[in-house]
Amino acid sequence: MTRLCDPPIPVEVELSPEGAPGRITLGPLLGPLSPTARWLAETDWWARPVAREYWKVILNSELLCEVFHDLHQDQWFLERIYD
């Protein structure tokens, strides 16, 4: 089952030396992240530009989540939890 966080939940992410998300340090879920996939989404959806860097990550070696970095706001969000 998938839980969509609507609206997405702001989190603070610490990056690894390679630039990938390495740890969630502030938010409802905390801990180390192991990235599994990355993709970019850019569009002018409804005349409001969207530029996001999405990551599918494994949190605490057990929970698959989807986070994104809003490139316009320079802020990270938790968007989806897979269980």
* 49 vs 82, higher pLDDT: 82
- Both tokens of 15, joined, read 């990056």
Which residue ranges make up each domain of the chain?
Answer: 2-82
- Residues 28-76 pLDDT 10s: 899 999 999 999 998 876 677 789 999 999 999 999 999 999 999 999 9
Burial class (CB in 10 A: 0-12, 13-18, 19+), 46: exposed
Would you state the pLDDT for residue 43?
82
- 82 falls in which pLDDT band (50, 70, 90)? very high
- Give CA–CA dist 83/72, Å, rounded: 30
Give the separation between CA 2 and CA 52, rounded to whole angstroms.
Answer: 20
pLDDT for the residue 45? 65
pLDDT at residue number 49: 79
Tell whether the model's pLDDT for residue 23 goes beyond 70: yes
